[in-house]
Structure 1
């Protein structure tokens, strides 16, 4: 580790009172920084991020620089932002020489906080046991790289801490000990800090305005307020109210306010803010957008929404007319009447009292229903039978007509010729043929 420089970074953020609002944030948020960490300083305050002025050891070091950078040299760092002034200094002395360091959170430690101490050792060391001490008193024996919990913090937790590890690494094996680190627990004189939201509940539609308010039940002024989201410590604003004029979909999260009276700091319970997103990217399954099925097949259509906050309602359209509601539409065994275009319309109502309604339509699904081959065969058979029946019916009608025509002839016409009379063979054959033909039709009729 010879020749390597590490930094001890300690952000003095306890003094939040007064007009000064610019802050320097340390990432990772631990002190001291281990030599193998990449430490980033971020300047939080009002004004343009590209107009940040940086100071090192009291001298102007970077004019109109970025709002963050990775620290490579030791020193005392400050930043200045137009409109919010100069930040408290962040100190960067050399890290203690050695492969082991005890780290504490790089923020003010308040009574009641949840805090852990980390015993960090170089990555190439084989550690079998870790011990923590306050002063000369041993607190706990743990497994390698285990953290020491001091939660919840009390005033008696203040003191000087160190850790020891047993290293199995050849010639460098044995006990290694970290440098002492001071833990200071600050008394909380403020109480009853709470956050409220408008709209109530912290649910707000995308693009709407959200106002958060910080209230203190007990405390003496003057008080200063800062706003933060999650555990990052990023400064969002100052004052008892925080206004987000047009919330974006990345503004969801837990927000809390921190109040200082100059001597102590109190923090509210986080308020969960949920940004409600309009429905979008509505699709229908099954695909593709042109779908061909056979008559009699069972068909089920489903509507899917890729983006959108609940609750979401679904409406189905067939050729532009509403036919059903719900995310699933069962068509059952379909017929050719089901052919046409289908669309799903998704709707959600956002904002307080649902005053904003959003709708999104899916692409059209063209459903073409073709007759079943079994149905075509059945139709052909039925047509053949019908034609045969008509043919037989016409034959019967013709036979009856012929019979009645022959029966209507006079008796003289029907008298057989006298015995010995000569008949024209052509005429006689015709009459007999007609009689037998009519008889044949009569038999068919019977």
Structure 2
């Protein structure tokens, strides 16, 4: 009886030994990369006539079981391995109706990490253009890289470190909640997953800010600007992001345009004339906002002589413009009339000499008061001289009258010739009276 029991036990043990050969644990892929899935397979070769025996499996990492309980599948999958998953693994198997377990030998799994590459820095808003007070996001990303990646953000060419983050991701973000003007700078980032940091390119950030109202200043060499002075017009805005476009106005006309990439002020020199009196202003534009300065009045003083000349010239210009043809015709007529002989003398007129009164001894002599002088221009010669004859006619005596002895007979006709009388000696009125 006892012998039969021992024989049965030996048979069972032999069957078990024949059924369960030591399993072998293999990895697929055999040399996994970090982040990729890995399949663990527990391979066992039962004897051919016992292949229908149902088996159960369990997998281990060092001393820690990877799953609770037993599984009828000979495979176990790790969805994404990390470098830290590199370790020794093994498995065990048993039949369903037996508690006897057969263990595999330990196998070492080495997980390879992929270095980061193609590091880049992007911004939001895109293009690195952000308005003062808005949020700015700096996005650092890598095209390749496995495992935990540490990201760094730097400001300026000297590399002022702003932030550091470690995460299992190909991208990471750094946020500036409210941008200031001092944040306008160049930025770059770096990424490292254990193979050394890789740097991105430099990205410039431009902080746009609205311009404040500009102030226009007129700088003259004296308190009262006069014609010929050079006045400096200076327009400046206390705040405003570059580049800036300045415009100077005289009344509503643009005097000057000036664009400056940096700085807050610009000047413009103006050489004054009388027409430059009036109101001046300037405006500034940076593409986001347009601001206009207050109006500044400039009075340009004109010297007295110049003012009179300008007034006379203005009046004459107006008269000639409206009455030009008529005035020219009138002036021509006056000139022609004077050319003919109606000239104005400078000196007062000279009266013709009065004849000397002598009492006639003739009985029938005429009354001396009745002698009539007659003036006649003999001829007009070139130059300023005019030749004239003056006649004095006396009435003849009666034919019956006897001429007294010792007396002289007066000429019937006497004449005096005045020559080279200057034309200045006669006025128009005197000349007509003489005629």
TM-score band w.r.t. shorter chain: 0.3 to 0.5
Q: TM-score, normalized by length of structure 2? A: 0.38
Larger Rg: 2
Higher relative contact order (CA 8 A, sep 6+): 1
Q: TM-score, normalized by length of structure 1? A: 0.37
User: Which structure carries more strand by proportion?
Assistant: 1
